[in-house]
Amino acid sequence: MNKLVKDDGRTHIESKLMRESLQDRKVLSGTDSTVDRRILPGITLVSIGGQSIFDRGKEAIVPIADELAALHKAGNKMLIAVGGGTRVRHTASVALDLGLPTGGVAQLVGAMEELNAVMLNALLAQHGSTTMPRDHFWDLPLYMNSGILPIVISVPPYHFWEPPSENGQMPEHRSDFGVYQQAEVLGTTKVIYVKDEDGMYNKDPKEHKDAVLYGQITLAELLANPPETNMIDWTVFSSWETGKNIKQVQIINGLKAGQLTKAMAGEPVGTLITKES
Amino acid sequence: MAERQSISDQGPAAIFETGIDPQVYDPIAVMPDMRCVKLGGQSLLDRGRAALFPVLDEIVAARNEGIPVLIGTGGGTRARHVYSIASDLELPTGVLAKLGGYVPMQNARMVQMLTAKHGGIYITDDDFEKLPLYVKMGCLPITTGMPPFGYWEKRDKDSRIPPNRTDAGVFLSAEFLGCKRAIYIKDEDGLFTDDPKKNPKATHIPRISAEELIARDLNDLILERAVIEYLRRAKWVKELQIVNGLKPGQVLAALRGEDAGTIIYND
């Protein structure tokens, strides 16, 4: 795959895709296989909710920070992603009233997550944490091997280029999706979403007393039986369907001491969603 | 346990449920007069000076008429080469999207060097908010067509190639800026009833709706599939225009807002 070919007015490099249309379904399927290479398989991505944890202030944040510090000290390799919470919602509310386009909203919201990253880092820096630009993950081996705990923001960098949404004006690629996708491309062990409920329910447990908790469930079962209200952005599950690396997504209660530690130890606390090959 | 401190009290709904009624949403167009133009990689840049110079002459002519233009460049054969090797390595789509961004960047810089004397400037995503300045100064901003999704690009079913490439990036720029059209300069007149290189009886299709195009379920398409899908949901972009850069006059006509080539429209 190193010859230059000039026989039709264009200069090509010889390769399987030379001259081909990258819209042709047959050509596209020729690039696929049953697996995606795992780049950093030994890491767990831990997402700390914005509204569910950070917006509750010190009483919720400090215990989680302590638990993260202990887990880090015990040698767990983690990448922490933070949500933005109600400041994100406020940003979006003002931006929509102003009539800003979807891409404009997407461009704005990351800054509100940066604030939570900075605050969490202020608590964890003495234990070796650092804030990391989210796409610097080629630095992760350096951090992991020198005992550093990186903290990133969650929202994916779609910015002004956020595609038009299927419904409404809000960006569809939001924080929960950004966390999942980062884990998927790195091929991490699993993703843990730390929220303020015991897991995922079929409807909002804050409003419905009869809401039922999903314990252990497969992705296929969840997609066949979706909840009425989503505590995790649905884009996570629709994307996970075509993803190849992530096999486990766990949703736990960060207000209950020890749940994160148990989840990191592989215990099925909260809601554990699994995907067969 | 401490209560959540919410700025607005709308209950524990999903973070983006802002309480704004979609019916009330009154969008503003950011820079609606901009012409967002994609310069094909394989179709133009890989052809070298014979194809590229006349196209750039027409873009500069349009710019001299006061028409604001934003150029997004495609990748072409070098992108295909790296996609091919990366696919063999079974690298994830997000890594391919990152790799695929480097080639259009090179192409954008080549176009900048060629147009510098006419005001061509290479811009990155971070320069996007300075577009009004560039337009006012009479410059011709040139950027990669690739959207910045990178490692966050979702994988398609049955493909390792990033579904959002330079056609999508130029479309999304146009949509953000509030433009009516996105313009694609390729080496064909647009759409035909069949492949004109193989079937001399194939006839040109001047206008077709996105819906009809999707309904045909073609095995191949002249634009990325994602773009056709986005067109149906877009607030601002109503038309995709595909023109032939190898035929004199088509590019200038398109930049003047005239119908040339094929127009794919959303009802």
A275 pLDDT above the threshold of 70:
yes
pLDDT of amino acid A20: 85
Residues of A in contact with B42 (CB under 8 A): 10, 19
3-state secondary structure chain B: CCCCCCCCCCCCCCCCCCCCCCCCCCCCCCCCCCEEEEECCCCCHHHCHHHHHHHHHHHHHHHHCCCCEEEEECCCHHHHHHHHHHHHCCCCHHHHHHHHCHHHHHHHHHHHHHHHHHCEEECCHHHHHHHHHHHHCCCEEEEECCCCCHHHCCCECCECCCCCCHHHHHHHHHHHHCCCEEEEEECCCCEECCCCCCCCCCCEECEEEHHHHHHHCCCCCCCCHHHHHHHHHCCCCCEEEEEECCCCCHHHHHHCCCCCCEEEECC
**Out of B14, B78, B226, whose CB is closest to A13?**
B78
d(CA A164, CA B50): 37
What would the pLDDT profile of A180-235 be if each residue is shown by its tens digit?
999 999 999 899 999 999 999 998 898 899 999 999 999 999 999 888 888 899 89
Residue B13 placed within a domain: no
What would the pLDDT profile of B154-204 be if each residue is shown by its tens digit?
999 999 999 999 999 999 999 999 999 999 999 999 988 877 777 888 889
pLDDT of amino acid A75: 97
Question: Position B127: which residue type?
Answer: D
Residue B125 placed within a domain: yes
Residue range(s) defining the domain that contains residue B48: 35-265
Q: For chain A, what is the mean pLDDT?
A: 94
Tell me if B5 and A31 make a contact (CB, 8 A cut-off). no
Burial class (CB in 10 A: 0-12, 13-18, 19+), B200: exposed
| A201 touches A192 (CB < 8 A) | no
- A38-274 CATH: 3.40.1160.10
pLDDT of amino acid B10: 33
The CATH number linked to B57 is 3.40.1160.10
Residues of A in contact with B8 (CB under 8 A): 86, 89-90, 93
Residues of A in contact with B78 (CB under 8 A): 13
Give yes or no for B175 touching A (CB within 8 A): yes
Residue ranges of chain B whose pLDDT lies below 70: 1-23
d(CA A56, CA B174): 40
- Closest Cα in chain A, distance from residue B157 (Å): 6
d(CA A51, CA A37): 34
pLDDT of amino acid B80: 95
Q: Which of A1-10, A152-161, B170-179, B245-254 is predicted with the least confidence, judged by mean pLDDT?
A: A1-10
What was the ipTM of the complex prediction?
Answer: 0.92
Residue A169 — pLDDT band, cuts 50, 70, 90? confident
- In degrees, rounded to 5, the angle at the alpha carbon of residue A172 between the alpha carbons of residues A231 and A52 is 30
| CA R_g for chain B | 20
Closest residue of chain A to B31, computed from CA coordinates: A101
Residues of B in contact with A1 (CB under 8 A): 81, 84-85
pLDDT of amino acid A168: 84
From residue A252, alpha-carbon distances to A127, A212, A216, B246 in Å are 23, 15, 12, 59
Domain count along chain B: 1
Residue A137 — pLDDT band, cuts 50, 70, 90? confident
Q: Which residue has the higher pLDDT, B192 or A273?
A: A273
Interface of B with A in 220-259 (CB under 8 A): 220-226, 230, 233-236
Tell me if A20 and B80 make a contact (CB, 8 A cut-off). yes
